[in-house]
Amino acid sequence: MHPLSLRGRVMSHRNLVVFGNKTTTEELIRYLDRHGARPDFLVTLSGEVARVAAISGRSEGLEQLCERLGIGFYACKSYSLKDAGDREFFESFEGGLGLCTGWQRLLPQAVLDRFAGGVFGWHGSCFRFPHGRGRSPLNWSIRLGGSEVWHNCFRYEAGVDTGPVFETRRLEIGPETSIDVLQYLALDHIKSSALALAAAWREGRLEEYLVPQPPGPSVELPKITPEDGGLAFATQRLEELHALVRSCARPFPGAFACIGGRPVLRIWRAERLASGQIAAHPGAEPGRIVDAGSGRLLIAAAEGWMLATDYEELIPPPGTGWAGDKLD
């Protein structure tokens, strides 16, 4: 890649800059490197700040990867980039094109202004832009029963997910698609569109591809927290329970079931079974664990059965095992 003119100065060492903290960030860097577009610089969190932030899917090897590939990096002192040291660093920073994945905070306008081509990120939900902005969009797309995600590569602005769109891809959500699979599909789009972005920037044609988002009010999504993963067999339909489990699967904290308000089980994977598929336990009320054999839990639910195939015990099971217990 030849040096590019940046604000009247020739710059090559920070033409392509990645922001991120996750394994997806690491995979993007590896992909770009394999395809001849190795990033020049990484902005990531310091180890202690990242641990406090409790980032799902955090990578432990980003700095080592950068050292091996000869990529410069800066370890930030705050996730908001408002620490005095971070502000001082970016005041003298000059970048070309920024790519942001695995960074779950808004970038301050003062940071965005340091990039001649802007900073681009990815956001997708079961709603088309301008709807679906906000937090946890892929998780919400599964939880809300969506059948597709409109995954956008767009340029950051001061507002939340408001910038012009470079590229959109439709991702399909199947009836059994879990969050890890949906993240994989999203990462595939991130990789291919990042490469296209880098090419458009290198060719000086980036602005030709940008399309403004529709104006007007929009529906925004709130953040899903670990506490939002509670299963309620007494009030939720089987379809809702199944969607919640899929939306909270690894690398997220998992769905959990309670007895008397106390979490007792974490359910990572489950299958839906129609009412007519189980005949050995007639009349079981929703939440009743009717079978706990072969490493599975069969749980009665409204309109059918949930078969937990991957679960974790948060407390020791009763002396007779889980069969017969009733989940909230």
**Is residue 238 scored above 90 in pLDDT?**
yes
pLDDT for the residue numbered 4: 31
278 lies in the same domain as 182: no
Q: What mean pLDDT is reported for the chain?
A: 93
User: Tell me: the pLDDT tens digits for 46-58?
Assistant: 888 888 888 878 8
> Residue 200: which of 150, 162, 153 has the closest Cα?
153
Is residue 62 a part of any domain in this protein?
Answer: yes
Both 233 and 201 in a single domain? no
216 in the same domain as 236: no
**What's 283's domain CATH number?**
3.10.25.10
Using the 3D structure, point to which of 170, 197, 221 is the last residue of a domain: 221
In this structure, is residue 326 part of a structural domain? no
Out of 221, 250, 276, pick the residue that ends a domain: 221
Q: Is 260 in contact with 234 (CB distance < 8 Å)?
A: no
Q: Does the residue 190 lie in any domain?
A: yes
Residue-wise pLDDT for 76-95, tens only, equals: 999 999 999 999 999 999 99
The answer on 306 and 215 residing in a single domain is no
Residue 319 lies in a domain: no
Last residue of a domain, one of 175, 192, 221: 221
The band of 14, judged by pLDDT with boundaries at 50, 70 and 90, is low
| DSSP assignment string, 67-104 | HHHT-EEEEES-TTS-SHHHHHHHHT--EEEEEE-S--
Structural domains of the chain, count: 2
Q: Which amino acid is at 259?
A: I
The partner residues of 313 in beta bridges, in order of sequence, read 265
Q: Residue 320's pLDDT is what? A: 82
Question: Do 19 and 150 belong together in one domain?
Answer: yes
- For residues 45 and 153, membership in a common domain is answered with yes
Same domain, 238 and 209: no
Q: What percent of the chain stands above pLDDT 70?
A: 96
> What's the pLDDT score for residue 68?
96
pLDDT beyond 90 at 7: no
Q: How confident is the model over 144-184, as pLDDT tens digits?
A: 999 999 999 999 998 899 999 999 999 999 999 999 999 99
CA distance 193 to 142: 23
309: Cα separation from own chain's centroid: 24
DSSP lists the bridge partners of residue 237 as 302
Expressed as residue numbers, the domain containing 262 is 226-313
Going 48 to 52 to 53 to 59, the CA torsion angle's sign is positive
Instruction: Give the strand pairing for 165-172 and 289-291.
Output: unpaired
The average pLDDT across 190-196 equals 98
Helix (H, G, I), strand (E, B) or coil at 2: coil
pLDDT at position 2:
28
**pLDDT bucket at 1, cuts 50 / 70 / 90:** very low
Residue 324 lies in a domain: no
Residues 187, 230 share a domain: no
Query: What CATH number corresponds to the domain at position 125?
Result: 3.40.50.170
The mean per-residue pLDDT over the stretch 58-80 comes to 94
**Is residue 121 helix, strand or coil?**
strand
